[in-house]
Amino acid sequence: MARKFFVGGNFKLNGTKDSIKEIVERLNTATLDPNTEVVIAPPATYLDYTVSLVKTPQVEVSAQNAYVKGSGAYTGEISVEQLKDVGAQWVLLGHSERRTIFGESDEFVAEKTKFALDSGVKVILAIGETLEERKSGITDQVNERQLSAVLKLVKDWSKIVIAYEPVWAIGTGLAATPEDAQETHANIRKFLTKELGQEVADSIRILYGGSANGKNAPTFKDKADVDGFLVGGASLKPEFVDIINSRQ
């Protein structure tokens, strides 16, 4: 069975009630490719509001982060139960900004991934290398290291979507060529095949997450192992619809 195309929109630390209403209403009224799964991740303060605005079952809502405890004295953190309580169905974990700015280790990301899955939320798991690591030729080793931490804790990968995000291509305007992305995605799938078996590896969607936009998204169309995009800045703009429809 073919993997369903997946487009995620990570709003990051952007948005107001007015701008998020505009984005969601655009998705509600646009003609979206019915073969594309769409997930949007607003800031935590707007999760409840965003869920209330979404009118199409094709669009689901994700948090940008969650903690490894259900409740307690963890000031500033958000629990998976709270995400579920406001209607979020996904959480984005391991984003490079969490890893590089906030110091989240591979092991901590893995722990959060397991906790989220065990608590009934689906996970967009982000991995990827820095520019220095890419120049050193260790892209695959970095991706495998980050995935290995999760593999130690998680056996059922049916509710995980992997987002390969080359750190050097996030917010820089730089982007891997479709050929580069395909090569890296194919190597990720090869590693997953070794660890989880062919059938499971073939079922896992691997998104490209480095400065995808309305103009370059169609150029990835024929890449067998690129199963969609995790979009940053472009998810705040009208071109997000073009990215969702880029496989048509």
Annotated catalytic residues are 95, 165
Using CA atoms, how far residue 104 sits from 65, 94, 155, 184, 248, in Å, is 11, 8, 22, 23, 37
Closest to 95 in 3D by CA, of 82, 85, 107, 109 = 109
Q: Other CB atoms closer than 10 Å to residue 167's CB: what's the count?
A: 23
Please report, in angstroms and rounded to a whole number, the separation of the first and last CA atoms in the chain.
18
| Ramachandran sector of residue 12 (left: φ over 0; alpha: ψ -120 to 50; beta: rest) | left
Length of the chain: 248
Closest to 93 in 3D by CA, of 10, 200, 13, 208 = 10
Q: Other CB atoms closer than 10 Å to residue 121's CB: what's the count?
A: 21
